Amino acid sequence: MNTKNIFKTVALAMLMPAMLLTTACSNEDDALNNTANTENTINKGYALPVTVNATRGDGATRASYNESTRKLAFSTGDKLFVSGTHTTAGKFAGTLTWQSGGTFSGTLTTQNEFTGTAEELLSTASKVFAILLPAGYNNYHFLTLNTNNGYDATTPTDFSKTFALTKAAAVEQFSMEMTHSYSNDGFTLSPWCGILNFTITGLTPNTDVYVTFSDYTENGNIMGGIVHTDGSGNATFAVAVYAASSKNIRTCTLYVAGNPITLVSTFKPINAGKIYNITRSIVDLSTKDANYTAQNGETLTGTLGTNVQISIADGATVILNNVNINGSGTWTSGNYAGITCEGDATIILSGTNTVKGFYEDYPGIFVPENKTLIINGTGSLTASGSDWGAGIGGGWEIDCGNIEIQGGTITATGGTGSAGIGAGNGGYNVASCGTITISGGTITATGGEAAAGIGSGTKSSCGNITITSGVTKVTATKGSGADNCIGKGTNGNCGTVTIGDNVGAITTSPYTYQP
């Protein structure tokens, strides 16, 4: 397997299964890995030949790789690390080499002399632990003398193979399996890792892109590698994720020419024994010189440099990653929202994004009547309507659908007579907006003249507004001459307003809700 530039030195507690081997065995055997003397104690301990069987439980993924059958089979070079504690033998550890079928054999080193059989040792041990070390992982020593003259069982390994360029290589090398029990039939192993298999399209052909992967911990420990795209601009790679119990991956980022592109949203759940096939298509808006409709699974990035319409297909989920759409234009060459949803849509925010409506009358982001726009993610969005348009919602005499905000840092500003989030200016014919639900994120919404920050604009209406205690903070500011910060604008109408434990229109300007 060809791997390059792996972050070995910053991988102390990250997604790398191999590093987690050390943690697992250390906890199991009270090892003091950081203080262990490098002196090997093979000559100080007692050798006990061992032959055991190992099988896999349901759901294990590792195989002599076969996409269609996923046939389970051990591979040449596989080893089984076994360690534990026994009342007579003391601590013991060793690595057993795969022979055939499910048979592994080798030598365990015991702290004290033990005259019984290997079966007696393993079946009566107070603690026992076995882990499959797939072919390609190099183990260095197993029983060491620490500074307190005690014995430690550890599994230092070569952790340079935590990033693979193919799914097959990842399955072969990353699918750790382990158990904490032994029976007369041997060890029954269970999967310990999930594998994320990526296919990325839309990149520059025949070039290197750098990938980093951040784990589920608060510290965001990182691994990474370099992938070379093919002649069509496609890249494939895979990573293994420690997930003995369900874990949530924090981020996976692709760097193209130094620009980050998020491939996985925060807190994506990963389960052991599973392979996740993730396909992403990167769309650089700076290359667009004609109207473009984003499809499901695409990531939009870059600055739009022309007056073309950017839309999201009906039912699509699209990632905005450092997008800049600064709407301008004229009635004939730019008469639309900054982003137009063609139907139901989900926008995931990554990085810093700015979207402004084109010319006048249109919102920053528009969702059609009777459809729903969901906004989530960890990035930020600044959405501004052109004059007479809402930041997120409708425009001049333009009805809009439902708006649900579940996460992200969002700043929305409406044009004249238009809400920051909600309905636009009713003009001569009243415009309407659907329901508005905010259940997460940090939200700042400012209405234009005579419009609410969240709700309706002048001479327009909106449905029910609900803000739950799941948000971090919501600040709404009404425009000059408006009736409410949250609710109806001047000469407008609004459904029921529910904010935490409070119900009713909010008139204080600005109004801040922070659970």
Q: What is the CATH number of the domain that holds 213?
A: 2.60.40
Q: How far apart are CA 63 and CA 418, in angstroms?
A: 59
Average pLDDT by stretches of 10, the chain with 515 residues: 23 26 29 30 71 75 53 76 91 90 90 91 93 67 49 51 70 74 88 80 88 59 78 87 59 70 66 79 92 93 92 94 81 79 94 91 94 93 94 95 96 96 92 96 97 96 94 96 95 93 85 92
Do 383 and 416 fall into the same domain? yes
Q: What is residue 95's predicted lDDT score, i.e. its pLDDT?
A: 86
Return the amino acid letter for 359.
Answer: Y
Q: Which of 230, 247, 278 is the last residue of a domain?
A: 278
274 burial type by CB count under 10 A (0-12 exposed, 13-18 middle, 19+ buried): middle
Do 475 and 327 fall into the same domain? yes
Whether 364 and 385 have beta carbons less than 8 Å apart is answered as yes
Measured at the alpha carbon of residue 62, what is the angle toward residues 61 and 65, in degrees to the nearest 5?
Answer: 105
Q: How far apart are CA 355 and CA 384, in angstroms?
A: 6
Do 256 and 306 fall into the same domain? no
Determine the distance from the C-alpha atom of residue 89 to the mean position of all C-alpha atoms in its chain, rounded to a whole number. 45
Please, what's the b/e burial string for 476-494 (b: 16 or more CB within 10 A of its CB; e: otherwise)? bbbbeebbbbbbbbbebbb
Residue span of the structural domain in which 100 resides: 17-163+174-190
Residue 275, helix vs strand vs coil: strand
Residue 241 falls inside a structural domain: yes
Residue 283 falls inside a structural domain: no
Do 22 and 158 fall into the same domain? yes
Q: Where are the beta strands (DSSP E) in 202-341?
A: 208-214, 222-228, 235-242, 247-249, 251-256, 259-264, 268-270, 275-284, 292-294, 298-303, 310-312, 316-326, 339-341
Do 104 and 53 fall into the same domain? yes
pTM: 0.71
Beta strands 365-366 and 339-341 are parallel
Q: How far apart are CA 2 and CA 25, in angstroms?
A: 29
Residue 440, Cβ neighbours under 10 Å: how many? 17
Residue 8 falls inside a structural domain: no
Longest alpha-carbon distance in the chain:
97
Return the amino acid letter for 14.
Answer: M
Do 144 and 198 fall into the same domain? no
Residue 36, helix vs strand vs coil: strand
Please, what's the b/e burial string for 199-223 (b: 16 or more CB within 10 A of its CB; e: otherwise)? ebbbbeeeeebbbbbbbbeeeebbb
Do 205 and 144 fall into the same domain? no
Do 145 and 254 fall into the same domain? no
Residue 474 falls inside a structural domain: yes
Do 65 and 186 fall into the same domain? yes
Determine the distance from the C-alpha atom of residue 272 to the mean position of all C-alpha atoms in its chain, rounded to a whole number. 16
Q: Which residue has the tokens 């600055």?
A: 303
Do 88 and 118 fall into the same domain? yes
**Which residues are registered as beta bridge partners of 473?**
442
What is the full DSSP assignment across 173-235? Answer: HH--EEES--BTTBEEEEE-EEEEEEEEESSPTT-EEEEEEE-SSTT--EEEEEEE--TTS-E
**Which residues are registered as beta bridge partners of 324?**
303, 354
Q: How many domains does the chain have?
A: 3
Do 479 and 363 fall into the same domain? yes
Residue 431, helix vs strand vs coil: strand
For the CA atoms of the chain, what is the radius of gyration?
A: 29
Do 155 and 219 fall into the same domain? no
Region class of 483: left (phi > 0), else alpha (psi between -120 and 50), else beta: alpha
Whether 372 and 366 have beta carbons less than 8 Å apart is answered as no
Residue 168 falls inside a structural domain: no
Residue 455 falls inside a structural domain: yes
Residue 7 falls inside a structural domain: no
Residue 40 falls inside a structural domain: yes
